[in-house]
């Protein structure tokens, strides 16, 4: 409506015709941008389990955005279930979540990852089974296997929903091998991340609004 009003006021004014032309051009570019966004494949990640899983899902979410995916549970083209295996109850929740995802979006490609798939390697009716870690490789595998049409996003990929808290994973795994715990089998022996890598991630998070 604003554009129509400006058109009526300035259309016959040569001095301000450029304004009308510019607005019309920006409207076309905006429409093209919306069409491009609408055509981008959508993904949704369901995360179960601990803070480490939450960190992995957040990192994967960022990598997928950078690759050109849009995040949306509605009409998602790609569904990812990040699983937990710390107890039998957790595995039962994995199965329930998997069933719900499949029934909710039967046409979407379905990926199962996390401690359940890493530890027990279950035979599941899904399109891709992944373990833990190597998230950059996981994104490349998804792109190669499913041949999504993607336009890389040059922005950071950080979510804008919460800027008050940022989870930073400084290490992974465990060396204790307690008789009741599956973590060493799921994530291996303890591995610390390089300090330079951690500092770079902290700086990037702060530059994107995290405190």
Question: What are the φ and ψ backbone dihedral angles of 168, each rounded to 5 degrees?
Answer: -120, 120
Taking the whole predicted model, whether its pTM rises above 0.95 is answered as no
Instruction: Give 46's strand partners.
Output: 81
Strands 70-71 and 42-47, how do they pair?
Answer: parallel
Would you say the C-alpha torsion 154, 157, 160, 162 has a positive or negative sign?
A: negative
Strands 171-172 and 42-47, how do they pair?
Answer: unpaired
Output the tens digit of pLDDT for each of the chain's 211 residues: 444 434 343 444 545 545 544 444 455 444 444 444 557 999 999 999 999 999 999 999 999 999 999 999 999 999 999 999 999 999 999 999 999 999 999 999 999 999 999 999 999 999 999 999 999 999 999 999 999 989 988 776 666 555 567 889 999 999 999 998 999 999 999 999 999 999 999 998 888 888 7
């Amino acid at each position: 409506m604003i554009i129509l009003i400006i058109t009526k006021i300035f259309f016959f004014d040569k001095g301000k015709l450029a304004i009308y032309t510019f607005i019309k051009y920006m409207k076309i570019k905006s429409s093209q941008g919306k069409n491009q966004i609408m055509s981008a494949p959508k993904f949704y990640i369901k995360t179960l389990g601990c803070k480490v899983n939450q960190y992995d899902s957040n990192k994967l979410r960022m990598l997928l955005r950078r690759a050109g995916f849009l995040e949306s549970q509605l009409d998602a083209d790609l569904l990812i279930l990040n699983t937990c295996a710390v107890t039998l109850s957790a595995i039962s929740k994995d199965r329930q979540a998997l069933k719900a995802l499949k029934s909710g979006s039967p046409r979407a490609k379905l990926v199962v990852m996390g401690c359940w798939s890493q530890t027990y390697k279950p035979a599941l009716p899904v399109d891709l089974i992944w373990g833990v870690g190597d998230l950059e490789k996981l994104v490349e595998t998804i792109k190669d296997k499913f041949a999504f049409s993607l336009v890389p996003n040059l922005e950071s990929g950080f979510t804008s929903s919460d800027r008050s808290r940022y989870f930073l994973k400084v290490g992974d795994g465990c060396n204790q091998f307690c008789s009741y715990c599956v973590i060493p089998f799921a994530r291996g022996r303890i591995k610390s991340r390089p300090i330079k890598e951690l500092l770079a991630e902290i700086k990037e998070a702060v530059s994107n609004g995290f405190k």
